[in-house]
Structure 1
Amino acid sequence: MNRSAEMADLSGTIEVARVVLVIGLVFLHYFAYPNSRVPPFEGFDPNHHQIATFVNSFVLFFFFSAVPLLSTISGWLFFGFSARPWEAIRRRIGKRGWSLFVPLVIWNLGALAIAFALRAVAPTSSLLGPFGIDFAHFGLWDGVDAVLGLTRLPVAFQFWFVRDLFVTVLVSPLLWLMLRHAPLPGAAVLCLAWIADFTFFGLFIRTDVLFFFYLGALARLRGVEPRVGWNTTKLLLLVYAVLMALRALAPLAFDPSQPDQREMLDLFTRLARPLGVVACWGLCLRLAATAWGEAIGRYGGFAFFLHAAHFPLIIFVKFVLWRLVPAETDAWMIAHYAAS
């Protein structure tokens, strides 16, 4: 395959990955069933609706690799230059301001307006909870914080990824110095920060984006071949799926409500993400080579809109569709999950 054909092939895979991973994030942000008090982040509910809660929890843990893979792709794309690096970095920071920061502000202002409109219509509605707003003590700073996510999740919480990605882009000159002069020590430092969940004194909401962005850049600059064989992909997918299934079943052996056990389970989940990144990338490579993948890839430009618009829309869809569920059985709960 010549160079231009190879890049076109990778471009198609990236478009497929964007669509598939964002769809995974939408499923992830379904959160708990309306009739369940056990959040899927803890695992399945061993006492009630075991099948339905397992499906929800397994899909959630599986797609925890979505943000790391999207971040890896972003780093690989951002540092794809061959000449005048400082000029290229400066230009790309400016472009990311329009493609990341401006949508961050606009969509969060919209979500904030929806939250206040809902409170005006239904001040006691449970639908207000996901917005995470203290309406009784809301001031100007709270509004700025809710939009920009300075000390909290943005009001449209899915934009934490966009917020952290933009901050990562802002520190890209520092990352470039690390990549040029101490690439492996830099990776080690960021890896330790990621494992320890160290946010650099609140600069980042989570360091997943920073670490995997750096790994993507490192792979690009080191000339790492972005290919994963299908046989290797199948093996990695199997191992990753088994690990995430075990994580979803963890409440059988652990108590996620205990801080020490929860931290251990969180560490296990975090350490499995690099495996999920490679497995999911290999799957996207395979999918992109099919007619289905070609069709999916055409909607790559729609992925950001889907990511931006799915909350708060999903909480209203969940509320409306739950009223149509004829019986609170596992099958109907899973149907509601998929439909929402």
Structure 2
Amino acid sequence: MTTLQTPFDQAASQAAPARVSRGAELPLTIEVARVLLVIGLVFLHYFAYPNSRTSPFLGYDPVHHPFATFVNSFVLLFFFSAVPLLSAISGWLFFNLSARPMATIGRRIRGRVSSLLLPLVTWNLLTLLAGYLLYLAVPTSGLRGEFGFDFAAADAFGVLDAVLGLTRLPIAFQFWFVHDLFLTVLVSPLLWLLLRHAPLLGAVGLCAAWLAEATFGIFIRTDVLFFFYLGGLARVRGTDLRIAWRTARWLLLGYALLMAARALAPAWFDLTDPQQREMLDLATRLARPLGVVACWGACLRLAETPLGEAVGRYGGFAFFLHAAHFPTIAFAKFALWRLVPVETDGWMIAHYVASVALTIGIVGAGAVLVFRLSPTLYAFLAGGRRLA
């Protein structure tokens, strides 16, 4: 049976000759990266503890539950590298072009309509429906705020905006990545011209736009665009993607220490000062390329192990988990918080881990059910992937 293709599905055919150390195939490393990074995004999208006064994006709370808030903030900041690395992998796979590059690019753009745009529309409509049913059933529920959408005042444009992310985040906010990836694919002919004729100038220009948080009027953020281009640059230059584990280990340690220091920043900086906040945001952004290389090196190493081989088998679940983990995690947080006996750091961390585990379990069960009912429907919802 023919299934839809995602940017990651090209791995087996496009990257099969490449190998990493000790014989682990590069496609396996890509699958391992997809699974682990999407799980990282589920942790990231837990956001703040229900009883926390501080957003984990700012760092830990030095007054109220400092240890629990540090753990939450550190994990969130660490997985800021997830979207850049997934984008770089997409670019590396996309720009493996034939002798007729523009024809190949055109064909791949058309393919991304079915593997990116249509799932984006479908999942956002489902999320909108879930929020609307909650609004009808419990109009005063605090969970309504998780959707960031006023169902009472919704009009046609508001619904369209919530689904497509025209002027705001999609209602299933995690789809900002798919939104920007699809737009990046649409402008890939321009990126290809830069890669062919001014590769380093293009990298510098897109890096400047990324650091300045420019959106070019169409992107939600330019993280995807910039790192997709870097992945393409690595492909056209034939960059060796192998990283010695000794090097990757030090990079991983350095990145972890930087993110730990960033999580502890409220102890040393006044985050109500716009200048200090802007400086910290820039420093956090500058650390992401280090996180990309460090996490890729860790995935290379894991892919050499039996555990990595086991993790890689779930690559066909990663897109589905990314698509369905919100609003699932919002409901999981709400339900499990009622079971917390006392608001201590230990119980807060337990709730954090349990909420993510329950979310993955619910989505996993849903994926198996959908796949058993209709592999074709699953492939559509999972961006072309099949469940192993």
TM-score over 0.5 for the pair: yes
**Which of 260, 264, 267 is equivalent to 1:249?**
264
- 1:158 has 2:171 as partner: no
Corresponding residue of 1:177: 193
The 5-angstrom pairing of residues 303-318 of structure 1 reads 303-318=318-333
Q: CA RMSD in A?
A: 1.3
Question: Where in structure 1 are there 5+ consecutive unaligned residues?
Answer: none
> Aligned residue pairs: how many?
338
Contact 2:16 2:27 in 1 (8 A): no
**Which of 4, 17, 24 is equivalent to 1:4?**
17
In 2, Cα distance between equivalents of 1:5 and 1:273: 25
**Which of 180, 185, 198 is equivalent to 2:214?**
198
The 5-angstrom pairing of residues 131-280 of structure 1 reads 131-201=147-217, 203-280=218-295
3-state secondary structure, aligned to 1:223: coil
In 1, Cα distance between equivalents of 2:57 and 2:159: 28
Corresponding residue of 2:77: 61
In 2, Cα distance between equivalents of 1:126 and 1:37: 16
Following TM superposition, by how much is the alpha carbon of 1:5 offset from its aligned partner in structure 2, in angstroms? 6.0
Contact 2:177 2:224 in 1 (8 A): yes
In 1, Cα distance between equivalents of 2:322 and 2:270: 32
Corresponding residue of 2:362: none
In 1, Cα distance between equivalents of 2:38 and 2:349: 20
In 2, Cα distance between equivalents of 1:14 and 1:120: 42
**Which of 48, 51, 58 is equivalent to 2:67?**
51
In 2, Cα distance between equivalents of 1:18 and 1:83: 29
Identity %: 70
Corresponding residue of 1:73: 89
Task: Judge which range, 127-136 or 300-309, deviates more.
Answer: 127-136
In 2, Cα distance between equivalents of 1:24 and 1:256: 25
Q: TM-score, normalised by structure 1?
A: 0.97
Q: TM-score, normalised by structure 2?
A: 0.85
Off by >4 Å, runs of 4+ in structure 1: none
Following TM superposition, by how much is the alpha carbon of 1:137 offset from its aligned partner in structure 2, in angstroms? 2.7
Following TM superposition, by how much is the alpha carbon of 1:98 offset from its aligned partner in structure 2, in angstroms? 0.6
3-state secondary structure, aligned to 2:17: helix
Amino acid at match of 1:25: L
In 2, Cα distance between equivalents of 1:136 and 1:322: 27
Question: Where in structure 2 are there 5+ consecutive unaligned residues?
Answer: 1-14, 356-388
